[in-house]
Amino acid sequence: MFGGWRTGLSGPVIVLQAGTAVNFFGTGLILPFEIIYLHQARGFSTAIAGLVLAAVMATAAVVTPPSGALLDRFRAKPILITGNLASALGYAGFAFVDRPWQAFVCSVVGGAGFGVASTANQVLSLTLVSAEQRAASIALRRVAGNFGLGSGATVAGFVIAATDHLRAFQALYLLDGATFGIFALVVLAGIPNLRPAAAAPASDRRTGFRAVAHDRLFLILIAANIVLTTTGGALFSNILPPFAKAHTPVGPSQIGLVIFVNTVFIVVAQIPATRVVVRMRRAHALAATGALFAIGLLAVLLATLTSSALAAGAVLAGVAIVIAIGECAQFIVLGPVVADLAPPQLLGRYLSLYSLTFMAGVALGPAVGGALLAVSPDAVWWGGALASALTGAGLLRLGDRIPDPSQP
């Protein structure tokens, strides 16, 4: 029954991803209620609250490339611990802010820690496994993150529903900060302090990110990932809820259920899906990802053609599953490809830029989708489907240029 969940990964990898699950549980505790807390409990305007949250990701984006360079010179373990401790300080500090400038300081500290720790976690995860285990390691990290995020959000929903007071919000932020500290302790006690990859020759050290910029295939892949992240996960998570509420008969509870279906499907199917995807040519798997996103986005429009809330909800649940399958393939193909393309002394830089593509996609999805919603709501879905399909076709044309595991 559980054979499909066997990963063959070592104990330290499993311990690391257990820590990741705890960490994301804390993130889930606050993620749905950040603007509510800052606006209702602290009296900030919604505009200021939005800027405070944007500052987290903006800071993370700024520090991610330098953290990649740092990881190419020093061990990932102490850098991951440092990043988590910074995030612990920043997010716990949110419990006590009562002025916007204090919230912005917490955003900068927490965002900096997140940017550093995110790349360090990836580097450490990949250094703990062989090349053949990279897909399984990435799949397990994704399962851990989604499970933690979903369970944290569920618990927080019950807490806020039971007592919508300032102390409840403060407790959630303090617990979130504590999960970063717990993750740091897990890494400290349970993960070996592996040495970094062999340093580049002195003549090559000056190149840095310029060496990465000369890898045209890598640049094509991360550009494609921005499109896939924008049109797949970001449009589904950020634009589908307001669109469905305004243009379909489903209500808030059904919208929440649709998001829940997507998250649960990823948790359940990600590791078994790895066994299927690793048997495919990587170019074919990436093309399939683009096709699945296109099909899912177009299917959203079917929910507008019925007046039945049950039928529309069923259609959107199907969309959630199709998008989830595409996301499963996207992560477990692109991550190992990036690691395979990276010279050992530049792994941190490659992974830092790869991480940036997800940040860019998460930012572009709401921005582009929100603008289109105001002008032509249907264009969000057929436009996104067209972009996904074209991106998938372009990746398919790369063919043998995208290395498969069996290739040198």
What's the first-to-final CA gap in the chain, in angstroms? 35
> Measured in whole angstroms, how far is the alpha carbon of residue 339 from the centre of its chain?
17
pLDDT digit string (tens) for 277-299?
878 899 999 999 999 999 999 99
d(C-alpha 92, C-alpha 313), whole Å: 38
- Calculate mean pLDDT across residues 187-196: 83
Q: Look up residue 278 and give its two tokens.
A: 């690793």
- Name every residue whose Cβ is closer than 8 Å to that of residue 326 and which is 6 or more positions away in sequence: 228, 232, 288, 289, 290, 292, 293, 296
Q: Look up residue 116 and give its two tokens.
A: 């550093």
pLDDT digit string (tens) for 255-267?
878 888 888 888 8
Residue 216: Cβ-neighbour burial (10 angstroms; 0-12, 13-18, 19+) = exposed
Of the candidate ranges 9-18, 62-71, 78-87, 367-376, the one whose mean pLDDT is the lowest: 367-376
Average pLDDT of the residues of the chain: 87
CB 102 within 8 A of CB 48: no
What pLDDT does residue 136 have? 84
What pLDDT does residue 276 have? 84
What pLDDT does residue 7 have? 61
What pLDDT does residue 301 have? 95
Q: Look up residue 295 and give its two tokens.
A: 């099909």
What pLDDT does residue 370 have? 82
d(C-alpha 252, C-alpha 176), whole Å: 26
Model confidence at 1, in pLDDT bands (50, 70, 90)?
A: very low
d(C-alpha 373, C-alpha 392), whole Å: 24
Residue 181 CB neighbours (<10 A)? 18
Q: Classify residue 279 by its DSSP letter.
A: T
Model confidence at 33, in pLDDT bands (50, 70, 90)?
A: confident
pLDDT at 103 over 50: yes
pLDDT at 71 over 80: yes
Strand (E) or helix (H) holding 61? helix 46-71
d(C-alpha 121, C-alpha 6), whole Å: 22
CB 347 within 8 A of CB 123: yes
d(C-alpha 100, C-alpha 96), whole Å: 11
Which ranges of 214-251 does DSSP label H, i.e. alpha helix? 216-229, 240-247
Closest-CA residue to 346 (of 195, 204, 133): 204
Of the candidate ranges 95-109, 141-155, 371-385, the one whose mean pLDDT is the lowest: 141-155
- Calculate mean pLDDT across residues 35-45: 84
